[in-house]
Structure 1
Amino acid sequence: MANYSKEILQNNVFNLLRYSGITYEQFANILEISLRKLKYVKNGESEFSIADVSKIAIFFDKSFAEITTKKIEVDRNFRNELLNIHRKNVEYRKILEDRPSIPYAIEFILVFDPEFENSELEVKQILQVFRKYGWEYRSPSVSKELKKMKSLILSKPHHQKKGTNLYSKAILQQNVLNITASSK
């Protein structure tokens, strides 16, 4: 236990949570703690108990030592891996089969979707992309999350529709900027 680090634990847990696509509320329910406590832990104002860490290890299929002592590298396909691991656990399987959190849907699905990858789309078109996967989200919620993800998503006003934004993959725009800069 000498190498135990609450900072490593916190970073691992919230990174695993990000890659799992489950919401904070769902995760708090799995741990049987309040959503408020989970947010306090995220902000460094509280800590997970040993019992919490045990539940975390079970859900994410990691050892206690792994979660608490070293940075865990997570594969982009982690949500599917978890679904496979928990296919016989009805409660966990249900959570993983439900629509993912909006940040997950944007970061791990939208930016790789062919309809979005090289395009500029309005929120209503992005909602259509998500519907292909069987997910329904509200426009304001998706807009809010898109605007938060500045490292992945660029937002600009629509050139014809007042009050409407166009969203595109930031990496695509960065590549265009790099090509333009290098050709000068």
Structure 2
Amino acid sequence: MKAYNARVTTENIKNHFKNSGLTIEVFANILEVSKRWLEYIFSGEKNYAFTPHTVQKACEFFVADFRKFTTELQAAPEDLREMLKKKHKRNVEYTKILSDAPSVPFIIDNILIKDDEFITSNGLELKFIKKIIWRYYPGLKLTNLSSDLQKSDFIEYYLLPTKKKKTNLYKRKL
């Protein structure tokens, strides 16, 4: 039997969290921890680690085997959010949070990079990207969209040379 591995466990929870589309606040509530504590763990702070209780809560939510989740890297399914909606359809609390709009990083990495208008562009300004996202999720607050785009592994950005004001153009990485 393999021993508990804190690094593997943290990586598994991070990967599943990222593919779930939940915000960090909502996920912290599910795990019954503070948002700040979860951010410390995800950032790799050495003094912070998941407790067995917290790992168990994550495994219950992600419908994952505790032993495997804590000993070997588990790939999060591409359609994890849809799978979770089906698995938790009888849990009112989880149904509600999984029915809400997903996190902006999730939208960028799973929806925007597959949108035809975005894919075929040579780069779009923020205002046009907002319009694309609002087609999928009308009225969604996009206050940190620029930084979320810049953090994405699937987006490249560069300054628009023809404007005096610093304006970035964003496009899908090839």
Task: Name the TM-score, length of structure 2 as normaliser.
Answer: 0.89
Match of 2:169 among 166, 170, 176: 166
Change (3 A) 1:14 1:135: farther
Q: Which runs of 5+ in 1 are unaligned?
A: 172-184
2:26 paired with 1:23: no
Name structure 2 gaps, 5 residues minimum: none
Is the contact made by 1:122 and 1:166 (CA closer than 8 Å) also made in structure 2?
yes
Q: Higher Cα Rg: structure 1 or 2?
A: 1
Report how many aligned residue pairs link the two structures.
Answer: 170
Which residue does 2:150 correspond to in 1? 147
1:132 to 130, 135, 142: 135
Secondary structure at the aligned position of 2:111 is classed as helix
Identity %: 36
Deviation at 1:133, TM superposition (A): 1.4
**How far 1:141 sits from its partner (Å)?**
0.7
Deviations, residues 107-138 of structure 1 (Å, cap 9, x unaligned): 11111111111212111111111112125444
Instruction: Name the CA shift for 1:124/1:10 in 2 (closer, same or farther; >3 Å).
Output: same
Q: CA 1:125–1:66 in structure 2 vs 1: closer, same or farther (change >3 Å)?
A: same
1:31-70 matches, within 5 Å, as: 31-42=31-42, 43-44=44-45, 45-70=47-72
Change (3 A) 1:87 1:146: same
Q: Could you tell me how far 1:37 is from its partner in structure 2?
A: 1.6
Q: Kindly provide the CA deviation profile for residues 63-117 of structure 1, in whole angstroms up to 9, marking residues without a partner as x.
A: 1112101111122211111111111111111111111111111111111111111
| Greater helix share, structure number | 1
Matched residue of 1:47: which SS? Answer: coil
